[in-house]
Amino acid sequence: MQPTVRDPNPPLTRSVEDYLKAIYHLSSQGGFAATSDIAAMLEVSPPSVSGMVKRLSEMGLIEHVPYRGVQLTSQGRRAALRMIRRHRILELYLTQHLGYDWGGVHDEAERLEHAVSDELIERMASALGQPQYDPHGDPIPTAAGDIEEAELVSLADAHVGTKLELRQVGTQDTARLRYFAEQGLTPGVLLTVSERQPFNGPTTIALVPSGDPRVVGRELAQLLWCQEIGS
Amino acid sequence: MQPTVRDPNPPLTRSVEDYLKAIYHLSSQGGFAATSDIAAMLEVSPPSVSGMVKRLSEMGLIEHVPYRGVQLTSQGRRAALRMIRRHRILELYLTQHLGYDWGGVHDEAERLEHAVSDELIERMASALGQPQYDPHGDPIPTAAGDIEEAELVSLADAHVGTKLELRQVGTQDTARLRYFAEQGLTPGVLLTVSERQPFNGPTTIALVPSGDPRVVGRELAQLLWCQEIGS
DNA sequence: GAAACGCCTTAGTCTATACTAATAGTGAGA
DNA sequence: TCTCACTATTAGTATAGACTAAGGCGTTTC
């Protein structure tokens, strides 16, 4: 019995894992994840984020530039990808083997991803035939921590006729975000590009599967980052 | 937005669920669960148990008789049985559908039982065909909270030739518990009764599957509560 | 270049849960 | 019956993580 020496490398807590995942998603489009965005994503107050950011920095999982935001270190990125792998494999397993539908899986996976062992995840991955994509078409990181980086195009540059999945909304402006949400333009939505007016004019799209049309001006279209859907 | 009203019926925390399960197991043989036994089972200090006992009483989940121990209220019992159902269904699902062996399932189930939804448990139960027993032969409580109460016999009274599963060790004496553990006589062990000497003499048993023999004097044999294995 | 607004951080508090150290009941044996 | 040893409880502290309220930094605007 030694006199209370702290474990230098304790397992990450549930909260820490959630923060890393959020930071991964928010900073994947290049830059820093902002405190208030993390707070909004995790539904906690900004001061809670500041507190956790301090802890995560001390753990070497993120880099923090005060008043700018945070980025994952390679160690933090590894931990985040591990959670994303878990989440996506769980979603796939639950839909394929236990009859969940797309809508219902997310919350279940969100809770389970913190509790499952690596062994269980690999057993599920085997049962699924080492899948590469989850039910939403997102790539599943490998156990080694590699992930297929999606090539994203802005809606303003997408070719007419292409089928796209909306992946990222490239702004933090509340009014614009709210407008996009009202229009049903949130990450994960599927759409096809119907036409584009000449001279930097607006793009017309059709939502899938409803077929509802939307007309998006160039400035806003440049904020909507999409992935081409191959199939 | 009301001024901070506490949820009168919050979901139970992981810790609370663990305490209830431990108390259920310790008090199932009739009496009270002692503070120190709960502490030993959960590997926490006795003062931690006293603290939690106070909270659980206030929540109406247990009855506490100071310096005697605790018992579950019907509400606490319901919550405990819910956890036991989850645990046993998880163990069974992991062994039958994901290739786990008996040894490996327990820890995995121990973590997952706090994270799964009722819906997932019922889906697993369906996939398993609404099973009644887990891989260790223990009865699975129904979703409604009923459980088949096992009839236990002490080893001293068991008939020669019977196959038994050791279920409960009916003492809190550390030296005896330690001795039983050294002999491999811990709950869950399977054994057959080989012979018994006359005039209240010792019972000879064979451990299953190793076949190792053990000779147990009458006094100790009376402490070993077993369930007959039908099959 | 200063003022104002907005986002970020610090300060201080709360809860759940754990711990150690110290105290108080309880029951067995002298 | 008294004492001793054991077990249980209280007292006080620590940690993770959340919150609100208050203050600081930066950027935009004039």
Which two three-digit tokens encode residue A69?
A: 């935001």
Domain boundary, last residue among A127, A149, A171: A149
A37 with A169: CB under 8 angstroms? no
Note whether residue A23 is domain-resident: yes
End-to-end CA distance of chain A: 60
Give yes or no for residue B173 having a pLDDT over 90.
Answer: no
A138 with A185: CB under 8 angstroms? no
Selection from A20-29, A42-51, B158-167 with the highest mean pLDDT: A42-51
Q: How crowded is residue B226: how many other Cβ atoms within 10 Å of its Cβ?
A: 26
Strand ranges for chain A from DSSP E:
62-65, 69-72, 152-154, 163-169, 190-196, 203-208, 213-216, 224-228
Partner-chain contact A117 B111, CB within 8 Å: yes
Nearest C-alpha of chain B: how many angstroms from A180?
A: 27
Nearest C-alpha of chain A: how many angstroms from B141?
A: 21
User: Number of folded domains in chain A?
Assistant: 3
Smallest Cβ–Cβ distance between A98 and the set B107, B115, B123 belongs to B123
Which residue of B lies nearest to A128 if distances are taken between CA atoms? B98
Q: Is any atom of strand D within 7 angstroms of residue A186's beta carbon?
A: no
Range of the domain at A220: 152-228
For CA atoms B11, B17, B23, B24, the dihedral sign is: positive
For CA atoms A88, A91, A96, A101, the dihedral sign is: negative
B157 with B174: CB under 8 angstroms? no
b/e for B90-104, b at 16 or more Cβ within 10 A? bbbbbbebbebeeeb
Q: Is any atom of strand D within 7 angstroms of residue B36's beta carbon?
A: yes
CATH code: domain of residue B214: 2.30.30.90
Residue A231: Cβ-neighbour burial (10 angstroms; 0-12, 13-18, 19+): exposed
Q: Are residue A141 and residue A185 in the same domain, yes or no?
A: no
The helix (H) or strand (E) run that includes residue A110 is helix A102-112
At B191, is the pLDDT very low, low, confident or very high (cuts 50, 70, 90)? Answer: very high
A25 with A41: CB under 8 angstroms? yes
State ipTM. Answer: 0.75
Nearest nucleotide by C1' from A174 CA?
C6
Note whether residue A8 is domain-resident: no
Count of pairs with CB atoms under 8 A, one residue in A, one in B: 43
Write out pLDDT tens, residues B91-114: 999 999 999 987 778 899 999 999
Q: What is the pLDDT of residue B1?
A: 38
CATH code: domain of residue A67: 1.10.10.10
Domain boundary, last residue among B72, B94, B110: B72
In whole angstroms, give the CA distance from residue B40 to residue B37: 5
Packed helices A14-27 and A35-42: angle between N→C axes, nearest 10 degrees: 120
Smallest Cβ–Cβ distance between B116 and the set A99, A112, A119 belongs to A112
Q: What is the pLDDT of residue A87?
A: 94
Q: Are residue A167 and residue A205 in the same domain, yes or no?
A: yes
Q: Are residue A67 and residue A99 in the same domain, yes or no?
A: no
- CB contacts, 8 Å: A95 with chain B: none
Which two three-digit tokens encode residue A206?
A: 């059709």
Write out pLDDT tens, residues A111-127: 999 999 999 999 999 99
Nearest nucleotide by C1' from B42 CA?
C18
Note whether residue B124 is domain-resident: no
Write out pLDDT tens, residues A147-201: 877 677 889 889 999 899 887 776 656 677 778 878 888 777 889 999 998 888 8
State how beta strands A190-196 and A62-65 pair. unpaired
Partner-chain contact B98 A108, CB within 8 Å: no
A 62-81: CB within 7 Å of strand D: 67
* Closest C-alpha to A171, from A34, A54, A65: A34
Nearest nucleotide by C1' from B4 CA?
D19
Smallest Cβ–Cβ distance between A117 and the set B108, B123, B127 belongs to B108
Q: Are residue A163 and residue A193 in the same domain, yes or no?
A: yes
